[in-house]
Structure formats: C-alpha cells, structure tokens
Amino acid sequence: EGMAPPQRILFPPEKICMAWQQRQRPGAGLDNLGNTCFLNSVLQCLTYTPPLANYLLSREHSRSCRQQGFCMMCVMEAHVNKVLHFSGSAIQPWTVVRVLTRIGEHFQLGMQEDAHEFLRYTVDAMQRACLSGSSNLDISSQATTIVHQIFGGFLRSRVTCLSCKAVSDSYEAFLDVPLDIKAASSVTAALEDFVKPEQLDGDNCFKCSKCDKMVAASKRFTIHRVPKVLTVCLKRFEGFTGRKISKVVEYPEYLDLRPYTSQAAGEPLLYALYAVLVHSGGSCHEGHYFCYTKASNGLWYKMDDMSVDGRGIDTVLRQQAYLLFYVR
C-alpha cells in the first residue's frame, strides 16, 4: 500500500523458512583473535537467526554463486556451517577475520570496533553480494533479496500540513531500528517515542505543495512494512564523547510490533527474542562484548568468545542490552 511493487523478485519469499529445520545443541564458541569480541558476538547472533541459518546450512547460495573474488554470503555460509557442525568447543573465525577490511575498509584486526557498526557493515555486505550482477534495480526490487526479506522493512514518514491537512508520504528501507533511550526505561516506551508525531515549525517549516508555501506541519514515522527479523539498537553511546548510557532498559521476551505500524489496528504482530548482544564497559572505546542466543534446541546460552554456557531466560532479560534480535 502506497509503495511501488518490485519489478523483479530476486528471492522467492515462500522459500524462506522461519523455524529451525533441525534441532541440535549449540555450535562452537569463537576464539578471540585479538580484540575480536565485537565480531564474535555479532557472528553468533547472526548464526542463530533461524531463517538465515536455514538458508546458509542448505548451501544453496554457494552452489549458484557467480561472484568473482569476495562474496560475503559465501563467507557467512562457510562460517555458519563450520560453527553449527563443529563437535569441539571453539573454532577460530578466520573465515570472517581474513576479509575484515573487505567488510569495511576502516576495520583493522587488533582494534576494538563497535559491534553495531560491524553488524551494519556485515549485513550490508551480504545484501551487496545478493545484488551482484543485478544492476539498475528499483528500490522495491532491491528489497527482495533474501537478506532484505529477512532483516529489512520499510518506514513511512508522513507529513501532515496543519493548514490544509494535506498528507505527504515517503518511504525508506531499514535493516534495523535505532532507539533513543535517554528518556525511556523500556523498549516499548522507546518505540512509543519513535512513532510520536513531531512538530515542524519555525526554521523547520515544511513546504506544502497544496498551500504552495512554507507551513507548520506534523511529521510521524511508523513501521510500514515489518521485517521477519527485527534488530533493535539501543543508542547507548553518546555521539561526540562516546560515553556510555549505562541505565537499565527493560525489554520483553515477546514484543507486539502492531502499535508502532502504519496500520495500528489489527491482529498483534508478535516477535520472540532470540539474541541479546551486551556491551560491558564505560565507553565505546573500551570494554567487552558478549551475547546470549537461543539455540535450535530452544535453550538459551551465554556466548562469550570461546565459552558457551547454558543460561535461564531470567538472566537473559536482565542484561544491559546493546542490540536485541527478535524473530517474527
């Protein structure tokens, strides 16, 4: 509704399998290869993303990949298969570390990087790999790769002229939702702030095409097309100083996204938590990353570099979360 249909479908949506295809105990831990905890924790969260893991375990991508040289989908496929089929306790994630500068040219081995930034670059590199060989695609078609169909959604920005009530909509693709937590003590409160209308006036007026002049208006973001996997980033680091906001922000095991969508009335849109990435430390320039993930056997594990230990849901829900991963 409101958006142009894709001219091409790059991956058939009915082939995406949301539930684990096989149930097993968790796979290997990941050795720290020198300040690589940011990378290890992100990789573990991606490895336990059911629709992505199902696809990578099928090895369907590498069988048909025509890409010359670096392909992030092939890299992830090799990594996930190695982790989930390994019988020992830990592996060295060289498959990914070796291509660190291909994922983002500013990443350097041995330097502590920001886990959210690494996640963004990794998923973007996977998206580029899925688009390789398909040039000049419209934005709706670009959103039909398997990567975008799993992690991506669309936001609607609706501006309403306060004089003539004319409505102007624009849409933008997203791969995660960054939430401001300065004023919020829970994810649901932060989501309410995210969709709260904002007044445009003074220097910030809006050019209304109907009134043909600068007017006061109201602007509101809503989630217009929901993702299969919702990634939430709690903005814990302050832009200039990098100082950390260490407050407790509550997050639920099950989240209903319906109230924050363009069609706020209707059936609940339920999501279940399956991974939590945690930063411990005082600023983005120091500290340690680890995560909790739900394996295909339905149990939770704390994954801290090479160690993988069972944990209860109560512990999982009491963390100072930085990234939250929910599956539809």
Q: How far apart are CA 235 and CA 274, in angstroms?
A: 20
pTM of the predicted protein model: 0.94
Which secondary-structure segment (H or E) carries 234? Answer: strand 229-234
Q: How far apart are CA 282 and CA 303, in angstroms?
A: 21
Please confirm, yes or no, whether 291 is among the known catalytic residues. no
Q: How many residues does the chain have?
A: 328
Q: How far apart are CA 265 and CA 261, in angstroms?
A: 9
| CB of 263 closer than 8 Å to CB of 301 | no
| Alpha-carbon span 34 to 221, nearest angstrom | 41
Spatial separation of the C-alpha atoms in residues 247 and 323, rounded to whole Å: 14
Q: 58-95: per-residue pLDDT in tens? A: 999 999 898 888 999 999 999 999 999 987 789 999 99
pLDDT of 87 reads 76
Alpha helices for 30-138 (secondary structure H): 37-47, 50-57, 60-64, 72-85, 94-97, 100-103, 115-131
| 180-219 per-position pLDDT tens digit | 999 899 999 999 999 999 999 888 899 898 898 999 999 9
Contact 300, 316 (CB under 8 A): yes
User: Given a cut of 90, is residue 37 above it in pLDDT?
Assistant: yes
What is the pLDDT at residue 285? 72
Catalytic residue, candidates 17, 37, 285, 291: 37
Annotated catalytic residue within 116, 164, 211, 288: 288
The answer to whether residue 224 is catalytic is no
pLDDT tens-digit series, residues 2-33: 778 889 999 999 999 999 998 999 999 999 99
